[in-house]
Chain A
Amino acid sequence: MEKRIRVLVAKPGLDGHDRGAKVVARALRDAGFEVIYTGIRLTPEQIAEAALQEDVNVVALSLLSGAHNTLFPRIVEIMKQKGIKDVLTIGGGVIPDADIPGLKAAGIAEVFTPGTPTEKIIEFIKANVK
């Protein structure tokens, strides 16, 4: 049997807006992925550690406070330091278009902004998971 794709849905930063994270987590689960949801207010260190412990294929970050330019790259960086390889990292939230090229350069494979159907996220993961 093929191994199921494991996804960590995580909320870095201090904002509590978890509607999007939870909806995405459930949609991914309904699509047949194994989903671990961290809950809110996690530090980059906690998220990288969870990614390591849970041995996930995908890390999906959700942030609505505007701290994405600081926190998303830091999470990628710490995962690298921990020797986590072959993980697809994606992000979503209230993220201005202008910030997306910088986030991609920092190692975020794709950024999903408000109004994105969950189907699009599922397709992206299936096409790009390593």
Chain B
Amino acid sequence: MANESLKAKQEAYAAKVEKAVAKNPERINLPKMRLATPLDIEGFDYEKDLGFPGEYPFTRGVQPTMYRGRFWTMRMYAGFSTAEESNKRYRYLLESGGTGLSCAFDLPTQIGLDSDDPKAEGEIGKVGVAIDSLADMEILFDKIDLGKVSTSMTINAPASVLLAMYIAVAEKQGVSADKLNGTIQNDILKEYAARGTYIFPPKPSMRLITNIFEYCSKNVPHWNTISISGYHIREAGSTASQEIAFTIADGIAYCEAAIKAGLNVDDFAGRLSFFWNAHNNVLEEVAKFRASRRVWAKVMKERFGATNPKSWMLRVHTQTAGSMLTAQQPDNNVVRVALQTAAAVMGGTQSLHTNSKDEALALPTEDSVRVALRTQQIVAEESGLADTVDPLGGSYYVEYLTNKIEAECWDYIKKIDELGGAVVAIEKGYIQREIQDSAYKWQMEVEKKERIIVGVNKYQIKEKPPEGLLRVDASVGDFQKGKLAKMKAGRDQAAVAAKLAALETACKDEHANLMPLILDAVKVYATLGEICGVMRKVFGEYQPHVSL
């Protein structure tokens, strides 16, 4: 038997190595797997475990030829200050070869507050662009053809309102909703667990999400209605397995909510999309992408009985890990981002944002954003990594890791099922605690130098303070408030009051789909804060679980 012979030889190798290691120990904190062989993927069945790209279980990718036809979408997340400033940055990115837009909104916008709300003080335009009403959205997409570009919007609790504004701007440009391409993040569960921009409690939040699924399946059929996000879970400190496990558990909760609301799984599942983090450990990341596709395909086919192959596919946007950027020796971040990009591409992502080297210090300058975009273009055009499908498939180590991450993922899904699903697991603080524990363990490893971060706990140098960082002008807040006051003075107040009243009535009827009413309200220039205010009044606000 071939395996018997291999087994004997592997044992001999292990014995020899153990003796050598006793004399010259290996480095600390290494993974257990020293050398993977066919014995470590016993029972490996090519057809069942990998199959072909574009086919179940999609381990090797969701498209038959992957990047041989066209590269992933190079989508740079951007937005700061005012709609006027961000519009300039978007047009610059598109002129530089970016192939999709990705909007960052400021925190008041993300939690449904207008710029004139006292809680918005100091935050206006800081981490993204401030949007108070349709008037700002018209400026944000000025001279950008929404029929041609695809736009991703990082917006969650008020996703319905921003999507409605996007549809309204497109309509004014003469582009009908069925021609629109893009994504809203719309993933409230990870906001409770890791990212923090929640507004309403889980029940009405899940209703808003299923309202969007239903509305878009009929009216905006090419829109990705949710981007179920592991990115922020990883940024909060989770491991690779936890990232995909908690996210897929969230995905299961969304599917269950939509099915419970009466939707047919194959009517919405094809528009679900995911969002992964591309972290530092290249091989582990590649395995994570592959494992996540295999798990999701099984969940959709076996658990939910989806029959359309599109429903089985885990399509994913990726961002390189912001938390791995160092404030020390920031030029080194260019190299980190290049390796993370390589991982995302070998993992088979559908779109990618690369971070800029200065982002541990501030929002990126135009020059550093260009290097980040060029990094993707170099990987695409020069590295050869995009020239064959799933280039690491069949590597003993990568297949072993893919199996291992998949198994860990199923363990977590089982545990979360036993707790009563992702919503309950979050309400009980289980997922938050798991993430926190991993984050603390990581930090202690760094402090004990069991984990090396170049420039942070090894190879440090004396540095001058960095120069040329982007600063958001402090006058942005006043400018935005002035614009808002002027807009409010010029609009049809009676129409605003009527549309908001209609929305309030609909909020109280749990069978009503709120999307058409929100669209009516944004079209008469009701503000984001006013619309979310109506929903806050009816739905209440989420009270977080705080634990250490």
Residue numbers of A with Cβ under 8 A of B are: 13-19, 22-23, 25-27, 29, 35, 37-41, 43, 65-67, 69-71, 94, 96-98, 113-115, 117-119
Contact = CB atoms under 8 A, between A and B. Distances in A.
Contacts of B544: 39-40
28 contacts: A13-B107, A13-B123, A14-B119, A14-B123, A14-B197, A16-B196, A16-B197, A18-B236, A19-B235, A19-B237, A23-B237, A26-B436, A26-B548, A35-B548, A39-B544, A40-B544, A41-B111, A65-B123, A66-B363, A67-B126, A96-B362, A96-B469, A97-B465, A115-B453, A117-B446, A117-B447, A117-B457, A118-B443
Interface string B113-156: 00000011111001100000000000000000000000000000
A50 B239 CA distance: 33
Given A22-B439, A22-B440, 15 more contacts: A15-B196, A16-B191, A22-B436, A23-B237, A35-B548, A37-B546, A40-B196, A66-B123, A67-B123, A67-B126, A96-B361, A115-B326, A115-B328, A115-B453, A117-B457
B436 A65 contact: no
Given A14-B123, A35-B548, A65-B127, A113 B327 contact: yes
B548 A22 contact: yes
Nearest to B125: A66
A interface, over-half SS: loop
Interface string B206-248: 0000000000000000000000000000011100000000000
Contact of B360 (A67, A114, A119): A114
A38 B472 contact: no
B332 interface: no
A69 B236 contact: no
Contacts of A38: 546
A64 B532 CA distance: 25
B195 to A, nearest CB: 5
Contacts of B440: 22-23, 26-27
B61 interface: no
A54 to B, nearest CB: 14
A13 B548 contact: no
A23 B363 CA distance: 24
Nearest to A97: B465
B323 to A, nearest CB: 7
B126 A66 contact: yes
B244 to A, nearest CB: 19
Contacts of B364: none
A70 B472 CA distance: 13
A67 B122 contact: yes
B57 interface: no
Interface residues of B: mostly helix, strand, loop or mixed? loop
Interface string B316-331: 0000000100111000
B119 A43 contact: yes
Nearest to A29: B548
A98 B195 CA distance: 28
A18 B196 contact: yes
Contacts of B548: 22, 25-26, 29, 35, 37
A18 B196 CA distance: 9
Interface string B416-446: 0000000000000000000010011001001
B195 A16 contact: yes
Contacts of B202: none
Contact of B107 (A39, A65, A98, A113): A65
Interface in B296-342: 323, 326-328
A37 B453 CA distance: 28
B495 interface: no
Nearest to B111: A14
B443 A23 contact: yes
A62 to B, nearest CB: 12
Contacts of A96: 361-362, 469, 471
Interface in B516-531: none
B456 interface: yes
Contact of A94 (B237, B360, B443, B471): B360
B466 interface: yes
A66 B235 contact: no
A14 B107 contact: yes
A29 B548 CA distance: 10
A65 B465 contact: no
B392 to A, nearest CB: 30
A118 B447 CA distance: 8
Interface string B350-384: 00000000001111000000000000000000000
B79 interface: no
Contacts of A40: 196, 544
Interface in B471-502: 471-472, 474
A70 to B, nearest CB: 3
Contacts of B235: 17, 19
A29 B111 CA distance: 31
A97 B453 CA distance: 21
A23 B235 CA distance: 13
Nearest to B439: A19
B348 interface: no
